[in-house]
Chains A and B, each alone.
Chain A
Amino acid sequence: MSRLSERLKLRYESIEDLPPTPLFKAGASVLFETPWHLYGKPKVDYSKCTKCRLCWLYCPDGVIKMAEEGPKVDYAHCKGCGICAEECPVKAITMVME
């Protein structure tokens, strides 16, 4: 039998689609893009970055991943709160409005 989490719909079109209570497979948020960018997008200046990981630690949405050259932001899920820019001790991150 297939797992219930795999059989659940990710989007509802009509009341017939609805389970009795909202049910989703765990981790379903990665399947949706939720870019709000309220205070702009965080842009990283890798020449200033010391790879201290404070941005990675402070990001409330967990959208920062550490790569070889420094933090990479998943803009499809970043809410643009600006906490990473605020916390960066060397001001390597700036919020850019588009």
Chain B
Amino acid sequence: MTRLELSIHGLESRAPELSARRILSGAQRRLFLLALILLAILVVVALPVAAIALVAFGTALYVATFLGWLQLTMMALKRPGIVSISDREAYAIADDDLPIYTVLVPAYKEPEVIHRTIAALEALVYPTDRLDIKLLLEEDDLETIEAVRAVGPPPHMQLVIVPTAEPRTKPKACNYGLTTARGDIVTIYDAEDRPEPLQLRRAVAAFRLVDESVACLQARLSYFNAHQNLLTRWFTVEYASWFMMLLPALASGGGPVPLGGTSMHIRRAVFDAIGAWDPYNVTEDADFGVRLYRSGWRTSVLDSTTYEEANSDVVNWIKQRSHWHKGYLMTWLVHMRQPARLWRELGPAGFFRFNVLIGGTPLIVLLNPIFWWITILWFTLHPAFVQAIFPPWIFYPGLTCMVAGNFLVYFAGVVTTRMTGHPRLVGAALLAPFYWLMMSVAAVKAVVQLINSPAKWEKTVHGLDLAVQKVGL
């Protein structure tokens, strides 16, 4: 296969059952159809039973997802360990001793921002003769290519032109870059990323410390424009909660770890073992994390932060979030093609965690407003149908989880701002329910898109903070 073909079809040819090229496998398609038909029959024959069954199912999923979140939060409170490398230790490794490091930087239509990207990469503290930085640009992205040439990147930054070919996605570009990668460790940075300069050295030191089975070190992500507006504040609280509390808990305890989109440092040999990224999956990072775990590799959290740009525009944010939800749903569908095998490979705890995290995340933001709406409807108008579809054995657990769940998640957001060193964000945390509403909107959009146009890649617009500066705001 040519390099291009490899980057597109590599995973598909090696393990077609793990490729998201088709969202639903044949068996899944048949199963969904069967379920729909059964449901339709039930609706016609015994509507109350169908309604109660649906409600029971939805409530059970809601309860399970909440319990999964609760368990993870309790684990997070027990202070799971992450890998922390001091500056001294990072510098201690002799230059000759450092491996070659491949840094993939996929970018698309970023002519304004690319000079900052290059500057951030130049700030990395690592011997340049051992750095293998690849700026991955699409063939038709003439403006960015021009901008890069105008800046004139240093010799260790290689401009790689990815030929135009479907699917036009970030993972495909990264796969293409991977085909000529020279490094023993690989990582990805986005165009707007500002990694902590010692991050690569820390990763090297960390890899030497941890078990052989740890294939990936995920660094923390945060935002440099946290205080730009309410949306960025919300986003920062969310990221703080995930990367500083939940992710370490996840990494330390039994379950696949969905990776962040950047700053995941991976041993090169792993790609030979399990294949590279799935170009058809819009959240290739989550998918890769699951595949890692299934093959017996582990992920740890690295105590180093990469600063990204938080989406500051509502429409842009919804596009991005629906993109993530869509990807999570795709990932769930792909890996659930062979549930028995998945169960074996993940173990019961991991299987539960996978379902609750990957499937549950988009699901719960869809269900929460529905339940709230039904609750408000019930308590104001007392329509009879609500009482009919919520018999006591569903009603009480559901109501308890809804009230306790919403409160605890809300409270956890506030506590997170304090515990992760962002006390100024407490105001945003108090307004979190509006953020949740936005997530629900994005989830609806995701489901619609999943059905209509699964491969569509929602490009996040960057440099919005620059635009704000230009207009003089």
| Chain A partners chain B | no
Query: Residues of B at under 8 Å CB distance from A?
Result: none
